[in-house]
Amino acid sequence: MLKIKDLHAGVEDKKILKGIDLEMKPGEIHAIMGPNGSGKSTLASVITGKEDFEVTQGKILFEGEDLDDLSPEERAHRGIFLSFQYPVEIPGVTVTNFMKTAINETRKARGLEEMPANEMLRQIREKAELLEIDRKFLSRSLNEGFSGGEKKRNEIFQMAMLEPKLAILDETDSGLDIDALRVVAAGVNRLRNQENAFLVITHYQRLLDYIVPDFVHVMHDGKIVKSGTKDLALELEEKGYDWIKQEAVL
Amino acid sequence: MDLKDKLLASFMAFENQVDIDNPVHEIRSEAIRIFENKGFPHRRMEAWKYTSLAGLQQVDFSIFPKESQGLEYKDVKRYFLHETDTYKIVFIDGIYSSYLSETTHDGVDICLMSAALNKPMYKPVIELYFNRAASREDSLTNLNTAFTREGAYIYIPKNKAPRKPVEILHLATGNEASLMLQPRNLIVVEENAELQVIERHQSLTTNEVLTNSVTEIFAGQNAIVDYYKVQNDKQSASLIDNTYIDQKKGSQVSVHTFSFGGKLTRNNLNFHQDGQHVNSVLKGVTILGEKQHVDHHTLVHHQQPDSESHQDYKGIFGEQSTGVFNGKIIVDRIAQKTNAFQQNNNLLISDKSSVNTKPQLEIFADDVKCSHGCTVGQLDRDALYYLRTKGIPKREAEALLMYAFANNVLESVRIPALKLRINKLIADKLEVRLGFDL
């Protein structure tokens, strides 16, 4: 599904990603861990096409297609989704209206008719329930004045609505208390199937107790320095990141 | 002959057409003298630094319109808020159209300035209110005062409220090559009375039209007045709007100005708070393109304690359009506990558009809350990226953000049909096709 080959990317003169290789197949959950500043969020931004970053070497293939020339919305229309670490506040646009626009623009790009209003409403209610989101919440301005937990829950709600093939969850666990974490993780697990894949970026092992990864990769200084199974995450939890850093230097 | 000389010469002809024995004529005569002394404002004056009337003064305007040809309602229906029932005071080329109007004298007077000036029964109101709020110094206001003859006259006595809003519509057909119009409106809303007004100036011609309008609004104790100005005129039409509001104790007056078109628009909006517990609301949405120019000059004068004013102006400037916001707040020494809020936010969506924004605070009381803020910027890049990653294309994402930016000013519009209409106008103006109502 996703093939990243020798990816180098950065902002202006600053190199951030220094040769990433990663392959993900449908049905898999991959976790990316690593200390702050190792390039985890940059990887998410580059996969989703943020214009601030420039790819200087290597490529990203999604279902065999090179993403390089595609805009963020074109990537979204192909089924790539990013749950933001810091969702942006958009005053004046309600959650419901944003969702309707996102769904219908995606459908339009895929050559489908707009979703009928009653079907849209039904889906919004169903998915909101899945994430234990209050109805009133849906008529509030997108992310404006939301608590950290509400913002993250709202991101996963959007994911549930858009049903992406590849979902990137960037630090979805940060700012969540344990109850919210359970709700979010249960949502993710419900949406998981043999056709989609998840890339879970996290600093801590905690989230991986609930969303169990097939593979764990550790990033340091713009590279994946170690890959393994979920046991690697436990090892990191126990020993911290210092030994990885030392290993990387050696 | 330049426009000033032409106007001065025309005044003599004008005197042959009106009753010069009417006491109002003394006010006219005084006003023309002041205009003669001051002339048109020019860019060396601080208040006119960014708006030039020089070009307009070169135009050979016709001062006295010919009797206009009739217009069919169906031709002008779209300029009315036809989705809802309203009283209508309609002028074609400055002349009252009884055919298109719907006036009333049923407990309230919603009629004509010419009638109010000439009929003895209105004399007490005219004596008490006419030219009492308008500036005696401003040259363009004086010019309008000098040519006072026609406009809307609305008188709502104590404890009354008309059962529907009033639309004041000024249409210009352009039977003349170029036309200058000077409507004069007087609106008196007495103690505990209420009124809603929608005002629009609309040119139906590509000939040049210049309107120099003066509106005086008096809100008595605890009166509630909502005034909406819809400015979406042709590229050949210019408007100088001078509105003066006098508020007594406990009154609430709001003025919303929607500026979406016209060649040059200057809004001089003046609030004088003459009582305690007064609330003044000034809101504006400006969305311009082409070479359009809109200049909002607001003044809120807090003259008594315990009152509030709330200003919120949003502007979106595309192509080569230019905007000005100058918000002046004066708080007199005795006006303690004043709460004055002012906000002006602007988006520039083209490299060639520009805006000049300036708050001007003169505060002489020490126990007041005054806040002001202005921003000029582009659309938030992070917000755009966020929307795009969720599948909303760039153009739609930009439109959505602009729409949301402008639209929150509409929250305080209290006529649902108007709110919907303005909503659609904003969407049209931004070329957004939205599958929902915000």
Half-sphere exposure of B196 toward its Cβ, with a 13 Å CA cutoff? 15
Q: Are the beta carbons of A76 and B391 separated by less than 8 Å?
A: yes
pLDDT at A99: 95
Mutation target to probe the B interface, by most B beta carbons within 10 A, among A11, A82, A98 is A98
Is pLDDT larger for residue A174 or for residue B230? Answer: B230
Phi-psi category of A39—alpha, beta or left, where left has phi over 0 and alpha has psi -120 to 50?
Answer: left
Write down the mean pLDDT value for chain A.
92
Nearest Cα neighbor of B231 from B262, B197, B268, B276 is B262
Can you tell me the mean pLDDT for B362-389?
94
Amino acid in the structure at residue B138: D
Q: Are the beta carbons of B404 and A77 separated by less than 8 Å?
A: no
288-317 of B, contacting A, C-beta below 8 A: none
Which whole-number Å values give the CA distances from B137 to A70, B46, B131, B177, B343, in the listed order?
62, 15, 12, 31, 28
Closest CB to A91 among B404, B434, B436: B404
The answer on pLDDT for B438 being more than 50 is: no
pLDDT at A235: 86
Using a CB–CB cutoff of 8 Å, tell me whether A100 touches chain B: yes
Name the minimum distance, in Å, from the CA of B350 to any CA of chain A: 20
Q: What is the pLDDT of residues A142-168, one digit of tens each?
A: 999 998 889 999 999 999 999 999 999
| CA dihedral of residues A145, B280, B215, B47 (deg, nearest 10) | -80
Helix (H, G, I), strand (E, B) or coil at B250: coil
Q: Are the beta carbons of A90 and B392 separated by less than 8 Å?
A: no
What is the bridge-based pairing of β-strands B264-274 and B293-302?
Answer: parallel
Closest CB to B391 among A92, A94, A106: A106
> Cβ–Cβ contacts within 10 Å for residue A160, how many?
22
Q: What is the pLDDT of residues B221-246, one digit of tens each?
A: 999 999 999 999 999 999 999 999 99
Identify each DSSP E strand in B31-116 by its residue range: 87-92, 95-96, 109-112
Indicate the pLDDT class of residue B431, thresholds 50, 70 and 90: confident
Helix (H, G, I), strand (E, B) or coil at B260: strand
Compute the 3-state secondary structure of chain B and give helix, strand, coil in percent, each to the nearest 5: 25, 40, 35
Q: Are the beta carbons of B435 and A48 separated by less than 8 Å?
A: no
What is the bridge-based pairing of β-strands B166-172 and B179-181?
Answer: unpaired
Indicate the pLDDT class of residue A12, thresholds 50, 70 and 90: confident
pLDDT at A119: 94
Q: Are the beta carbons of A92 and B403 separated by less than 8 Å?
A: yes
403-432 of B, contacting A, C-beta below 8 A: 403-405, 407-408
Q: Are the beta carbons of A72 and B389 separated by less than 8 Å?
A: yes
Name the minimum distance, in Å, from the CA of A198 to any CA of chain B: 16
Instruction: Find the closest chain B residue to A99 by CA distance.
Output: B390
Name the minimum distance, in Å, from the CA of B383 to any CA of chain A: 6
**B42-49: Cβ within 8 A, 24+ apart:** B47/B297, B47/B326, B49/B356
Q: Are the beta carbons of A102 and B408 separated by less than 8 Å?
A: no
Using a CB–CB cutoff of 8 Å, tell me whether B73 touches chain A: no
pLDDT at B355: 97
pLDDT at B394: 93
Nearest Cα neighbor of B138 from B205, B238, B216, B76 is B216
Q: What is the pLDDT of residues A90-144, one digit of tens each?
A: 988 889 999 999 999 999 999 999 999 999 999 999 999 989 898 888 999 999 9
Instruction: Find the closest chain A residue to B404 by CA distance.
Output: A92
CB environment A67-89: b (16+ within 10 A), e (fewer): beebebbbbbbbbbbbbbbebbb
Name the minimum distance, in Å, from the CA of B425 to any CA of chain A: 17
Name the minimum distance, in Å, from the CA of A69 to any CA of chain B: 15
The answer on pLDDT for B82 being more than 90 is: no
Report whether B236 contacts B203 (CB < 8 A): yes
Report whether B166 contacts B87 (CB < 8 A): yes
Name the minimum distance, in Å, from the CA of B411 to any CA of chain A: 11
Rounded CA gap, A132 and A180, in Å? 9
The answer on pLDDT for A206 being more than 90 is: no
Q: Are the beta carbons of A162 and B405 separated by less than 8 Å?
A: no
Q: Are the beta carbons of B389 and A114 separated by less than 8 Å?
A: no
Phi-psi category of B179—alpha, beta or left, where left has phi over 0 and alpha has psi -120 to 50?
Answer: beta
Q: What percentage of chain B exceeds 70 in pLDDT? A: 98
Nearest Cα neighbor of B323 from B140, B54, B48, B50 is B50
Tokens of A80: 């790539």
Helix (H, G, I), strand (E, B) or coil at B188: strand
Write down the mean pLDDT value for chain B.
94
Can you tell me the mean pLDDT for B191-220?
96
The answer on pLDDT for A2 being more than 50 is: yes
Tokens of B360: 């001007």
Name the minimum distance, in Å, from the CA of A76 to any CA of chain B: 5
The answer on pLDDT for A10 being more than 60 is: yes
Indicate the pLDDT class of residue A248, thresholds 50, 70 and 90: low
Q: Are the beta carbons of A88 and B380 separated by less than 8 Å?
A: yes
Q: What is the pLDDT of residues B112-164, one digit of tens each?
A: 999 999 999 999 999 999 999 999 999 999 999 999 999 999 999 999 999 99
What is the bridge-based pairing of β-strands B166-172 and B194-203?
Answer: parallel
Length of chain B: 438
Q: Are the beta carbons of A93 and B383 separated by less than 8 Å?
A: no
Contact list in A for residue B382 (CB cut-off 8 A) is 88
Rounded CA gap, A236 and A117, in Å? 48
Indicate the pLDDT class of residue A246, thresholds 50, 70 and 90: confident
Among A128-132, B3-7, B251-255, which stretch is predicted with the lowest mean pLDDT?
A: A128-132
Report whether A150 contacts A179 (CB < 8 A): no
Q: Are the beta carbons of B400 and A88 separated by less than 8 Å?
A: no
The answer on pLDDT for B67 being more than 80 is: no
Among A216-225, B272-281, B403-412, which stretch is predicted with the lowest mean pLDDT?
A: B403-412
> Cβ–Cβ contacts within 10 Å for residue B334, how many?
11
Instruction: Find the closest chain A residue to B379 by CA distance.
Output: A90
Using a CB–CB cutoff of 8 Å, tell me whether B438 touches chain A: yes
What is the bridge-based pairing of β-strands A215-220 and A29-33?
Answer: parallel
Using a CB–CB cutoff of 8 Å, tell me whether A94 touches chain B: yes
Name the minimum distance, in Å, from the CA of B410 to any CA of chain A: 11
